[in-house]
C-alpha cells in the first residue's frame, strides 16, 4: 500500500521547520515535557531512522507510540504535515523489525478483526468484571459504572425506509446498549436500522499496531458488507470509526474504487441535526455539557451538530466547558501502555467538565466515554457520562415511565 510507505514521506517530514507549535498543543508533550514525544521530535526521530542514524530500538518504538491520535498537531502545523499518516507508516515500518508483543497482537489485531469476537469478549468483561482484577493490564481494572440497558417497547412508526448502522468494536463490546438507543431513535423517526452481519473492526487498532494490511482487509470486509446491504446512508455512533472510515479508507482502498461506500458514512449527530422529527422528542431534565471527541471535532470538524441537538432537547440547559482544546487521553492502545499518563491527561478534561456545574457529560464517542467515566470515578466528581444517542431518548424514556 503505497499510501503507508514511510519512505514516500521523506519530503513531507523535511517540511518540519522545528517551530515547536506542536509542543503548545500536544497533550502527551504537555504532560511529559519530553521533546521526543512531540510531533517535531517524532519527525526528527523518523528522519534519523530513515537516514540510518538510529535503528528500530525499543525507545524509538515507545516514543513514536506515545501519541493519543488527537490530530491537534495536524490542525495546528503551519506547514500542514500529515503527522498521522506518517506515524501509521512508521509503525508499519517498525513492525517489520520489532515484532508486536503477543498480547497486543492478540487483542488489537486477531480478536478485533474477527466478526463477533469483540462482542463476546465485552460480554465476559462486563458480566464477570471481577475477573479483571486478576488481569495484568491496569487499564482493564478501571471502575466504570454500568447502567442497565434500557428496554424499549419499540414505537411503531416504521415507514419502511432503511438506514445502515455500523456499531464498531467499542459499542459491540463495551456499550451494546447504544445499539438499542440508536435503533429506538430511528424507529421513532420512521426508519428501520440495518446492521449487516460479517462486520468487523474499522481498522484503526490494527493500523496502530502497524498492521496496515489487516486494516485494509477489515476495510474491504466492511465495505463489501454495506455494498450488499444497499442502503443510502450509513450511520455510526463512534467518532473514531467515522474518522477512520472517512479519512483512512480512501487511502486503504485507493485501488478499489468500486468500494466507495465509505462516502455514505455519517455521524449520528450529522444525521439527526437535519431531522425535523427530532422536535417531537420530549425534553431531558438536568444540566448538560458536551465533550468534543478529537476524531469528530478536529478531524472531521463536526462540532455544531451535537450542540444543536443537545440545546434542542435540553431546553437550553447546556453549559459549554472550557475544554474544547482538551483531549480525553484515551488513544486506544496508548491507554493500555501508558495508563497513568493517559489518566493524567484525562484529569484536565474532567476538571474543565466539572467546572461547568453540569450533572451529565454527553459525548459522541464510546472510547471517550470509557475514558471519561474512569477519569470521573478517580476524581469522585459524581458526574454521569452519556452517549448522545442515550441523551436524545432521555426525555422520552422519562415520559414513558410517567405514563406507566
Partner 1 sequence: MISNAVKEELRKIAGKDNFFDEIEERICYSYDGTTFKSKPDIVLKPANAQEVSHVLKVANREKIPVVPRGAGTGLSGGSVPIEGGIVLAMNRMKKILSIDEENLVAFVEPGVINEEFQKEVERRGLFYPPDPASQKMCTLGGNIAECAGGPHCLKYGVTRDYVLGLEAVLADGSIINTGGQVMKNVSGYDLTRLLIGSEGTLGVVTKIVLKLLPLPEDRRTILAAFSTMERAAETVSAIIASRLIPATLEFMDGVTVKVVEEFLKIGLPTTADALLLIEVDGKKEAVEIDYEKIMKICKDKGAVELKGARTSGERENLWKARRAVSAALGRICPLKLNEDVVVPRSKLPLLITKVKEICTEFGIKSANYGHAGDGNIHVNILIESRADDEMKKVEPALEKLYKEVVNLGGTISGEHGIGFLKSKYLALGAGVESVNVMRKIKDALDPNNILNPGKIFAVNPSSLSGEEKINSPRPSLTKRGDNSLSKGARKRVRGKE
Residues in the site for partner 1, rule: CB under 8 A?
14-21, 23-25, 33-36, 38, 41, 44-45, 48, 53-54, 57, 59-60, 63, 78-80
Nearest Cα residue to 99 out of 211, 205, 7: 211
CB of 43 to partner 1, least distance (A): 10
Q: By the 8 A CB rule, do 124 and 111 touch?
A: no
CB of 37 to partner 1, least distance (A): 9
Grid coordinates belonging to 83:
503527522
Q: What is the DSSP string of 7-39?
A: GGGHHHHTT-----GGGGT-HHHHHH--GGGSH
CB of 325 to partner 1, least distance (A): 12
> Between residues 76 and 400, which has the closer beta carbon with respect to partner 1?
76
Return the number of other C-beta atoms located less than 10 Å from residue 48's C-beta: 13
> Between residues 98 and 144, which has the closer beta carbon with respect to partner 1?
98
How many Å separate Cα 385 from the centre of its chain?
Answer: 15
Q: What is the DSSP string of 157-220?
A: ---SEEEEEE-HHHHHHT-THHHHHHHHHHHHHTEEEE--TT----SHHHHHHT-HHHHHHHHH
Nearest Cα residue to 302 out of 274, 331, 321: 274
Question: By three-state DSSP, how is residue 321 classified?
Answer: coil
CB of 72 to partner 1, least distance (A): 12
> Between residues 13 and 272, which has the closer beta carbon with respect to partner 1?
13
β-sheet bridge partners, residue 165: 235
What is the C-alpha separation between 403 and 81, in angstroms, rounded?
56
CB of 81 to partner 1, least distance (A): 9
Q: By the 8 A CB rule, do 362 and 386 touch?
A: yes
Burial state string for 324-334 with b = 16 or more CB within 10 A and e = fewer than 16: eebbbbbbbbb
> Between residues 15 and 312, which has the closer beta carbon with respect to partner 1?
15
> Between residues 19 and 399, which has the closer beta carbon with respect to partner 1?
19
- Helix, strand, coil: what percent of the chain each, to 5? 60, 5, 35
> Between residues 24 and 127, which has the closer beta carbon with respect to partner 1?
24
CB of 48 to partner 1, least distance (A): 5
CB of 187 to partner 1, least distance (A): 41
CB of 332 to partner 1, least distance (A): 23
> Between residues 75 and 400, which has the closer beta carbon with respect to partner 1?
75
Amino acid at each position: 500500500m503505497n499510501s503507508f510507505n514511510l519512505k514516500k514521506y521523506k519530503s513531507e517530514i523535511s517540511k518540519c521547520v522545528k517551530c515547536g507549535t506542536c509542543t503548545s498543543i500536544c497533550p502527551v508533550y504537555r504532560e511529559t515535557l519530553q521533546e521526543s514525544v512531540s510531533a517535531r521530535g517524532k519527525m526528527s526521530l523518523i528522519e534519523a531512522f530513515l537516514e540510518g542514524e538510529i535503528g528500530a530500538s525499543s525507545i524509538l518504538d515507545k516514543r513514536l507510540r506515545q501519541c493519543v491520535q488527537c490530530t491537534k498537531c495536524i490542525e495546528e502545523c503551519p506547514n500542514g504535515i500529515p503527522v498521522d499518516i506518517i506515524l501509521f507508516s512508521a509503525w508499519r515500518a517498525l513492525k517489520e523489525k520489532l515484532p508486536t508483543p503477543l498480547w497486543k497482537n492478540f487483542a488489537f489485531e486477531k480478536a478485533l478483526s474477527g466478526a463477533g469476537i469483540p462482542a463476546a469478549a465485552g460480554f465476559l468483561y462486563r458480566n464477570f468484571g471481577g475477573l479483571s482484577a486478576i488481569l495484568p493490564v491496569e487499564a482493564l481494572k478501571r471502575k466504570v459504572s454500568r447502567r442497565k440497558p434500557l428496554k424499549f417497547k419499540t414505537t411503531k412508526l416504521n415507514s419502511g425506509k432503511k438506514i445502515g448502522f455500523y456499531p464498531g468494536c467499542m459499542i459491540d463490546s463495551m456499550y451494546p446498549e447504544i445499539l438499542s438507543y440508536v435503533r429506538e431513535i430511528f424507529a421513532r423517526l420512521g426508519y428501520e436500522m440495518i446492521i449487516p452481519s460479517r462486520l468487523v473492526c474499522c481498522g484503526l487498532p490494527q493500523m496502530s499496531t502497524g498492521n496496515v494490511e489487516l486494516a485494509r482487509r477489515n476495510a474491504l470486509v466492511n465495505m463489501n458488507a454495506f455494498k450488499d446491504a444497499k442502503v443510502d446512508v450509513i450511520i455510526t455512533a463512534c467518532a473514531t470509526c467515522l474518522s477512520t472510515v472517512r479519512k483512512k479508507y480512501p487511502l486503504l482502498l485507493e485501488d478499489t474504487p468500486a468500494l466507495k461506500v465509505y462516502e455514505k458514512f455519517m455521524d449520528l449527530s450529522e444525521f439527526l441535526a437535519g431531522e425535523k422529527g427530532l422536535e417531537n422528542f420530549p425534553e431531558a431534565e438536568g444540566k448538560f455539557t458536551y465533550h468534543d471527541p478529537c476524531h469528530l471535532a478536529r478531524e472531521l470538524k463536526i462540532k455544531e451538530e451535537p450542540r444543536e441537538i443537545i440545546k434542542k432537547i435540553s431546553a437550553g440547559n447546556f453549559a459549554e466547558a472550557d475544554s474544547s482544546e482538551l483531549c480525553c487521553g484515551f488513544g486506544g492502545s496508548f491507554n493500555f501502555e501508558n495508563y497513568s499518563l493517559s489518566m493524567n491527561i484525562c484529569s484536565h478534561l474532567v476538571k474543565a467538565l466539572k467546572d461547568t456545574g453540569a450533572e451529565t457529560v454527553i459525548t459522541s464517542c464510546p472510547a471517550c466515554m470509557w475514558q471519561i467515566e474512569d477519569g470521573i470515578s478517580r476524581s469522585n466528581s459524581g458526574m454521569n457520562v452519556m452517549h448522545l444517542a442515550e441523551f436524545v431518548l432521555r426525555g422520552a424514556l422519562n415520559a414513558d415511565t410517567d405514563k406507566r
